Amino acid sequence: MKLAIVTNNKYHHKYFIVSLYNNFDVELIVLPSGKKRKGTIRKILNKQFFNYGVFWFCLKAISLIYNKIYKKSMIQQINAAEKTFFKDFEKKYSEIPKEKIVQIETVMTYRLFVELKKRKLILFVSLVEILQKRK
């Protein structure tokens, strides 16, 4: 059975990709580039941050500033732990043939379905799906 993996480009995702690649017949690895994501300032200008109210906006703004500045924030600690524990898989990830890795803007695009059809694939494996099935 040939697999298509849809995941991200962070260290723990690379670990996930290498583990599946070593154990299964992985034909395609899809990495969304996220270029079409709206930035924080653009969301504020479009008033999307105010969708849940001013109080939620203030909490979110404080959270964003705290996570960027304070090195002991949870996000900073997670990023540091990822670099410590999953850095070794960067080399193994680079050994995967580049023709198996496809960068796309977002997951649900026509280009993705063309790639799947061209390689005759029907199964997606996503890190999110596996983690949800564990719970």
Phi-psi region of 112 (alpha: psi -120 to 50; beta: other; left: phi over 0): alpha
Whole-number pLDDT of residue 35? 63
Cβ pair 16, 91 in contact under 8 A:
no
Segments making up each domain of the chain, as ranges? 2-134
Whole-number pLDDT of residue 97? 92
Whole-number pLDDT of residue 52? 76
Question: pLDDT 10s digit of each residue in the chain, 135 long?
Answer: 788 888 888 888 888 899 889 988 888 888 887 665 556 666 666 666 667 777 888 888 888 788 888 878 888 888 888 888 888 888 898 999 999 888 887 777 788 888 888 888 865 555 555 555 555
- Which CA distances in Å does 48 have to 56, 63, 65, 67? 11, 17, 18, 20
CA-based nearest residue to 38, from 46, 30, 26 = 46
- In this structure, which amino acid lies at residue 4? A
